[in-house]
Amino acid sequence: MEYCDYIADRIRQGLNAAKEQAFGNIVDTVGRTQADLHPTEGWYQSSTKTIEVVDKNGQKYKVTVEAVEE
């Protein structure tokens, strides 16, 4: 069983909470959690989740949660 949805949600909540803090407000925007869908057909490709984040200087980041096969 994989928990990519749960982990991505907790990361997103943490980043949004960081936006609310008065000290060192570095995070400007936290995007929605995106699923790994086929680009044209839209079907589910994997459990990988991504979140786009923008800092106060406009630099964009992509946070990826991906299960590692062992």
Per residue, the 3-state secondary structure of 11-65, as one string, reads HHHHHHHHHHCCCCCCEEEEEEEEEEECCCCCCEEEEEEEEEEEECCCCEEEEEE
d(CA 36, CA 53): 17
Which DSSP category does 70 fall into?
A: -
Q: Is the pLDDT of residue 1 over 80?
A: no
pLDDT in tens, 14-68: 999 888 876 668 899 999 999 999 999 999 999 999 999 999 999 999 999 999 9
Full-prediction pTM beyond 0.75?
A: yes
Asked whether residue 48 is assigned to any structural domain, the reply reads: yes
Q: What is the pLDDT of residue 24?
A: 66
Residue type, 30: V
Asked whether residue 70 is assigned to any structural domain, the reply reads: no
Q: Find the domain containing 29 and state its range.
A: 4-65
Q: What is the pLDDT of residue 22?
A: 65
- Our count of domains for the chain comes to 1
